[in-house]
Amino acid sequence: MLVAALTQPANRRTAVRALAEHAGAEELLILIPDRELGVLLPAPGFQQTLSDPKRWRQFLDRCVEKMFYQGELSFPTAETIMSATGFAADGGSVVVFLGGEHRMDEAIDISLLLPIVAAAFEGERLAAVHEAKTAVAKQTATQAKLLADSLDKARNELRQTLAEARRANAAKDRFLAVLSHELRTPLNPVLLAASAMETDPNLPAEIRADISMIRRNVELEAKLIDDLLDLTRIANGKVQLQRKVVDAHELLREATTVIQADPSSAQPEIRLDLVATSHCIDGDAARIQQVFWNLIRNAVKFTSAEGCVTVRTNNPSSDKLRIEVIDSGIGIAPEVLPKIFNAFEQGDPEINQTFGGLGLGLAISNALVEMHGGTLRAESAGLGKGASFIFELPVVERGAEALEPAPALLGASNLRRILLVEDHATTAALMVRLLRKRGHEVVLAHTKAEAIAFGLGQKFDLVISDLGLPDGNGYEVMEALRSNPGVVGIALTGYGMEADVASSVKAGFQFHLTKPVDAQKLYQAIEQIATARRA
């Protein structure tokens, strides 16, 4: 009866209130697709102006993508934030329950009728459009022209708004790329030096172990920069995973070692109880380790030095690995648990003041776990009673690829003369020293103009170039020099987006290495180019 009343304009508002109350919500909004504009718009008779349209657009996109989504939205004004539960139908229409305590069974029942209701609304809107067109046809030519002009103006304004939104999004991407470059560049000489010294047999084993710890932490910092800057990209599923068979126990030990080596504060005891008999998984080793690091570091952060953090593994079934990170720390309030994986969510504001942080680690971890086909959940008996985070993934058979030997020192190869293009003085000086130590002749250029002048005036076997230069970029350098017979290139840069890699390939670079770069990876890239040339 209520659904039938919903399709009748005269009774619609009363029916909307009744249906919302039936589902435990304060408000109910139905949106149907406008095929011409390509956007979702409120159905006739509903609130037509939505505050914070960007948040609404993101919420509706996820509803359509996942068929069900929960979050928070401003309604009816920007000052009023309500909990929101959305359901999408196959035709693209969406029903959103706002505010209150949503009763999911009733909300689902209502959403199942969405296609019928949406079809009625679509018919109503088409009838209104037809009626408007008929009215326009009856008006004078001048009135029709004025109405058409008004419609064109509205559409143009909408197009301009969409174009401005796209430009703003592109500007944000450019800003993040530049910020990533600026954050990565100072780390590059540290990682280059550490990775080179780590394999130096002339250094004592104890010193090399300390240097290895430095290298691991720099690499972890670089990964943190990636995750923090790419949070939106991760949430939208645009991160590409470099999958291979990895040993989860080895990654857990590595993550624990890094955290225990942090001398910045007193830490609780970390106990490893790794009893799973099958512990190899198919995943991106760096991303999985980032999840482990986030979970263990989070447990340590919220547990006093007198407490304990336990990292436990087991196989709940023959095809599944379970990792539990259990702490005796401050616990999680029941009302916070459902939103613990939301970005920037830390529950009580005092937690942020006491413990610091942005509240991004768990959101990033949850997104990465989902990308690997796994699950991540949190459990806590309440404040002061500790917390557990349970991470489950499918296991795979251990293969030879799960064991990665340390990269061997490579010979100087047949690429004798190298043109190095780098404007960061510390990185440039260190790279010149490392490459010359391996037997290469190195000519250093600090700008695009110098690089092109040297490259066209002398013969080089290899160009290693930064992409961001004071007077241009490395793409222009490579494009100017690629006409020289036998010249090959390696891009060494803080810009690591997919578009940057594609631009490097287009410009003629054989490799795109994102800073900070492990010296062994640079040597391997040089040797691969040399091997290809010998072949």
For the stretch 361-416, pLDDT in tens is 788 888 889 989 999 999 999 999 999 999 999 999 875 444 443 333 334 455 68
Q: At what angle do helices 474-481 and 448-457 cross, to 10 degrees?
A: 20
pLDDT at residue number 410:
37
Whether residue 383 is found in the same domain as residue 264: yes
Mean pLDDT of 492-504: 81
The arrangement of strands across the sheet holding 81-88 comes to: 39-42, 27-34, 94-98, 81-88, 68-74
Give the CATH number, domain containing residue 318: 3.30.565.10
Locate 203 and state its tokens: 């250094």
pLDDT at residue number 454:
93
Q: Is residue 176 part of a domain?
A: no
Mean pLDDT of 219-241: 68
Whether residue 289 is found in the same domain as residue 366: yes
Strand 468-469 relative to strand 387-394: parallel, antiparallel, unpaired? Answer: unpaired
Tell me the pLDDT of the chain averaged across its residues: 83
For the stretch 22-61, pLDDT in tens is 999 999 999 988 877 788 888 888 888 888 888 999 999 9
For the stretch 296-320, pLDDT in tens is 988 998 899 899 999 999 999 999 9
Q: Is residue 376 part of a domain?
A: yes
Q: Is residue 330 part of a domain?
A: yes
User: Which residue from 360, 339, 362 is spatially nearest to 71, judged by alpha carbons?
Assistant: 339
Q: Which of 226-235, 334-343, 440-449 is the least confident region?
A: 226-235
The arrangement of strands across the sheet holding 375-379 comes to: 269-274, 308-317, 320-327, 387-394, 375-379
Give the CATH number, domain containing residue 521: 3.40.50.2300
Q: Is residue 408 part of a domain?
A: no
Whether residue 335 is found in the same domain as residue 444: no
Helix (H, G, I), strand (E, B) or coil at 488: strand
Tell the residue number behind the tokens 């209502």, with chain if given: 110
Domain end, chosen from 131, 150, 174, is at 131
pLDDT at residue number 272:
95
Q: Is residue 181 part of a domain?
A: no
Residue environment code for 277-303, b if the CB has 16+ CB neighbours within 10 A, otherwise e = ebbbbbbbbbbbbbbbbbbbbbbbbbb
Residues forming beta bridges with residue 468, ordered by sequence position: 473
Whether residue 345 is found in the same domain as residue 462: no
Q: Is residue 109 part of a domain?
A: yes
Tell the residue number behind the tokens 């990185």, with chain if given: 427
pLDDT at residue number 409:
34
Long-range contacts of 101-110 (CB under 8 A, 24+ apart): 101/24, 102/23, 102/24, 102/25, 103/22, 103/23, 103/24, 106/22, 106/23, 106/24, 107/23, 107/24, 107/25, 110/3, 110/19, 110/22, 110/23, 110/28
Whether residue 430 is found in the same domain as residue 373: no
Whether residue 293 is found in the same domain as residue 441: no
Whether residue 105 is found in the same domain as residue 254: no
Helix extents (H) in 185-247: 187-198, 205-229, 231-235
Q: Is residue 223 part of a domain?
A: no
Whether residue 423 is found in the same domain as residue 393: no
User: Which residue from 335, 329, 282, 312 is spatially nearest to 391, judged by alpha carbons?
Assistant: 312
Q: Is the entire prediction scored with pTM above 0.85?
A: no
Q: Which residues neighbour 325 within 8 Å (Cβ) at sequence distance 6 or greater?
A: 295, 296, 298, 299, 309, 310, 311, 388, 389, 391
Cα torsion 512, 516, 522, 528 to 10°: value is -30
Strand 441-445 relative to strand 417-421: parallel, antiparallel, unpaired? Answer: parallel
Helix extents (H) in 244-348: 248-260, 285-301
Whether residue 247 is found in the same domain as residue 363: yes
Domain that holds residue 65: 2-131
Domain end, chosen from 400, 428, 443, is at 400
Q: What is the DSSP letter of 484?
A: S
Percent of the chain with pLDDT over 90: 33
d(CA 338, CA 316): 24
Query: How many residues appear in the chain?
Result: 535
Whether residue 425 is found in the same domain as residue 390: no
Give the CATH number, domain containing residue 43: 3.30.450
Q: Is residue 171 part of a domain?
A: no
Whether residue 388 is found in the same domain as residue 318: yes
Q: Domains in the chain: how many in total? A: 3
Whether residue 246 is found in the same domain as residue 362: yes
Domain end, chosen from 88, 113, 131, is at 131
Evaluate whether 366 touches 373 at the Cβ level (below 8 Å): no
d(CA 217, CA 202): 23
For the stretch 93-144, pLDDT in tens is 999 999 999 999 999 988 888 888 888 787 777 777 777 667 666 666 677 6
For the stretch 241-288, pLDDT in tens is 888 899 999 999 988 988 887 655 578 999 999 999 999 999 988 889
